[in-house]
Amino acid sequence: MYIGGAWVESESGARFDATSPATGETIGSVPEGTREDAKRAIAAANAAAREWAARSAFERAAALERVADAIRERRDELARTLTLDQGKPLKAEAYGEVDELIEYWRGAAAEAIRIEGLMPPSADAEKRVLVYRVPKGVVGVITPWNWPYTMPAEIVAPALAGGNAVVWTPASSTALCSVKLAECVVDAGLPAGVFNLVTGPGREVGDEIASSPGTHAVGFIGSTETGMRVAERAAGKSLLLEMGGNGPLVVLEDADVDAAVEATLTASFLCAGQSCTAGERFLVHEAVQDEFVEKLTARMGEIRLGDPFADDTTMGPLNNEATAAKMDAHVGDALERGATLVAGGYRADGFPTKLFWEATVLDGVTEEMAVAREETFGPVVPISTIRSDDEALAVIDSSPFGLLAAVFTRDLSRGLRFAESARAGWVNVNDSTNYWESHLPFGGRSGSRSGVGRVGGRFSLEALTELKTVILNLG
């Protein structure tokens, strides 16, 4: 772990093994941090916060650029570690995440020097008013295993850019990736205590980071259930929560069906479906449903499940047994309730672990099925029939989630009106649910179980800083 400018072991001396979902082999070990370790990291961050906040925005930007340079230099090592530790196909996905990671850090560096304030007028002619954007202080960061490089960068990079000190705890199942990323941050030469990494169980480390009075804001990315617990423990603090979704993708009767099928492959099988933006509800108009299913079925052979280090592999294993068990349960429930299995439907044999799940298509999915109501987080396309725009909107509105949706139609006016009506924080017209850009505002709609606030570009920086008013009396 990295605390107060030094690589350290847990105060307990305990470590836990990192096991590859692709091979089942032990690929390393990581310190098993405790609540006391988290307290040490929070104390170190508070000791460093004032000095880091006093640095110029240009100094902080230069430090973030050095992080990006270190990532670029270690691109191969980071990508291979990602494939071993998370399971993403090396060529099809792992290098892409590393390249995107570089852009996150460079983007945060660019935004650091664009932080602006205000000089509003005063009612008193003898006074001047200055309104600054200032750091929150110490930001606690809790991140998931599905995108173990870019998800932390969504919060850690802008937090540092805004002048905050950071205490980060990553998901245990990809902690080896997290250590590799932390090495790049350390190489950038930030002052001791500005950046801290504590690996260990969320029930101790994450809980301490969320609840401690020493953290002044908490950024969380992960499941809805965990996010709700974090919000409860961090009550009263600034929160930036990016949580679950079930990515409804709507295919209207005038859609380009070939384009919708193409988008479906990306929506459901990128990262083996383990994405908060994955397409997990496919609402297809009855007029084109048969055509959609037929064309999708014809292209399922393009999804190559296999050794993630093989060049022709497009989908690797699921990351952990809990996710695979949820796929088992959701697909089994759908079939028991009358859904039709079009493709896949089971764990694949002949691989080193039981985490390889076949790309799956279900037709005839109805509202009472778990795969329609919950976030499955696996490689599945659940298809339901709709008869109108209003019916599709009603399905989206009834969902407890509200992160991202997509709609396919040749009528852009119709598509825009649909997007404006859909209760989601982000809507793509004629593109996959998994299409997004790192500089744009991303987050769940108000009142949903998909989160609070927006990440992305300057929006992250705004969320992780606050306004401070200073009045000068010239009289």
Residues with catalytic function: 242, 276
Of residues 68, 57, 100, 64, the one with CA closest to residue 456: 100
List beta partners, residue 197.
2, 168
Neighbouring CB atoms inside 10 A of 462's CB total 18
Note the residue count of the chain: 475
State the sign of the Cα–Cα–Cα–Cα dihedral 417, 270, 203, 221. negative
DSSP state of 431: S
**Contact between 424 and 276 (Cβ < 8 Å):** no
SS3 206: helix
**What are 220's two structure tokens?**
């969380």
43 Cβ neighbours under 8 A, 6+ residues apart: 4, 214
Q: Round to whole Å and give the CA distance between 185 and 232.
A: 30
Q: Please give the biggest Cα pair distance in the chain.
A: 82
**What are 70's two structure tokens?**
């270190």
* Residue 439, burial from CB neighbour count under 10 angstroms (0-12, 13-18, 19+): middle
59: left (phi over 0), alpha (psi -120 to 50) or beta: alpha
Q: Round to whole Å and give the CA distance between 354 and 324.
A: 8
C-alpha pair distances (Å), 58 with each of 132, 169, 425: 16, 27, 32
Residue recorded with tokens 């990262």: 271
**Contact between 202 and 221 (Cβ < 8 Å):** no
Q: Are strands 127-135 and 138-143 parallel, antiparallel or unpaired?
A: unpaired
**What are 281's two structure tokens?**
């509800």
